[in-house]
């Protein structure tokens, strides 16, 4: 009987250690930002104000995590209304036809310390391309309400021409490469 009980306890602990944990982006403590060179001499900064995301993990780290994120294109914000309208037009994101940008992970690999390499499919407009981005895991703690929260960030570059954003294809006025910076805090569900 003791062996059966110990076997049951061991099996239960094994199942619990591999239980999946859902984390949802806390938009009040997260941001999706970008920089793009203008005229070769300066940068224009912007962000997307509306986004959502979920991460499924097997515990309190990113090992074997599954990432799904979405950004509403109409929420683009550079602080200049005329520029934002142009970015939403067919010259750039064509927000009426393609209202969202999405990312779905395919794998995550632990690099060193709290660093990971996240691979997945980035969809902008009708183009889907696999990208590989570095992720720095900030860890897990409890917020003011006693809920567990997880934090991570990522910085990477995307060539806008690869995704059908062809305005100024020479890159002389608006650079081809866009620097993306993501800062996410997620709440355990």
User: Is 13 contained in some domain?
Assistant: no
Q: What is the pLDDT of residue 60?
A: 80
Q: Considering the domain boundaries, does residue 40 fall inside one? A: yes
Question: For residues 24 and 93, what is the distance between their CA atoms, to the nearest angstrom?
Answer: 26
Alpha carbon distance 100, 72 (integer Å): 5
pLDDT at 3 over 70: no
pLDDT in tens, 11-21: 444 444 457 99
Each residue's pLDDT tens digit, 95-139 = 999 999 999 999 999 988 889 999 999 999 999 999 999 999 999
How many Å from the N-terminal Cα to the C-terminal Cα in the chain? 37
Domain that holds residue 70: 20-188
Instruction: Indicate the pLDDT class of residue 59, thresholds 50, 70 and 90.
Output: confident
pLDDT at 61 over 50: yes
- Tokens found for residue 41: 């001499």
The CA distance from 150 to 26, in Å, is: 10
The answer to whether position 4 is within a domain reads: no
Tally of domains in the chain: 1
Q: Is residue 179 included in any domain, yes or no?
A: yes
Q: Mean pLDDT, to the nearest integer, of 138-155?
A: 96
What's the CATH number where 164 sits?
2.40.128.110
pTM of the predicted protein model: 0.87
Structural domain contains residue 32: yes
Q: State whether residue 162 is helix, strand or coil.
A: helix
Does 81 map to a domain?
yes
Residue 99 lies in a domain: yes
> Does residue 8 lie within any of the structural domains?
no
């Amino acid at each position: 009987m003791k062996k059966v009980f110990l076997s049951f306890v061991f099996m239960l602990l094994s199942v619990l250690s591999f239980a999946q944990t859902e984390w949802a982006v806390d938009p009040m403590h997260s941001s999706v930002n970008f920089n793009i060179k203008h005229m070769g001499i300066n940068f224009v900064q912007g962000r997307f104000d509306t986004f959502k995301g979920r991460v499924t993990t097997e515990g309190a780290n990113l090992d074997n995590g599954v990432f799904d994120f979405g950004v509403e294109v109409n929420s683009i914000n550079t602080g200049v209304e005329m520029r934002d309208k142009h970015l939403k037009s067919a010259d750039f994101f064509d927000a009426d036809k393609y209202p969202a940008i999405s990312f779905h992970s395919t794998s995550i690999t632990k690099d060193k310390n709290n660093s990971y390499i996240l691979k997945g499919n980035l969809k902008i407009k009708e183009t889907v391309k696999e990208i590989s981005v570095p992720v720095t895991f900030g860890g897990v703690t409890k917020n003011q309400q006693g809920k567990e929260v997880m934090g991570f960030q990522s910085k990477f570059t995307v060539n806008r021409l690869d995704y059908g954003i062809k305005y100024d294809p020479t890159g002389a006025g608006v650079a081809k490469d866009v620097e993306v910076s993501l800062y996410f805090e997620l709440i355990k569900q």
